[in-house]
Amino acid sequence: MYWTVLGIAVITEICWALSLKWAGTVATWQASAVPIILSFVNMGLLAFAMRGLPAGTAYAVWTGLGAVGVIIGGVILFGDRVGTVQAIFMGLTVIGVVGTKLFAQG
């Protein structure tokens, strides 16, 4: 269950980071409220996941997958560019996260 909650926290993290860029382009108070709300939800989910998972493991998975997800989301939503070397390192990040999950104690 804690891994599932962490997965939802990762998705929320990606949405939060992408909403920051979106809010900057829309520039309304409603758009500015979205990342604030997502931030609270995100932190709550991460904190709950850490109840059953080691903090370092949960944080590593959350930040690693969040970073890769934001890069992919930026490409899809905002036309950001990803170079070959950057894509290779994104793959290494995912491999590291999978290894962290496979060998986690929680």
pLDDT digits (tens, 9 = 90+) for 30-83: 989 999 999 999 999 999 999 999 998 999 999 999 999 999 999 999 999 999
Q: How far apart, in Å, do the first and last CA atoms of the chain sit?
A: 11
Contacts of 48 (CB under 8 A, 6+ apart): 2, 5
pLDDT bin (cut points 50, 70, 90) of residue 106 is: low
Q: Span 12-25, mean pLDDT?
A: 93
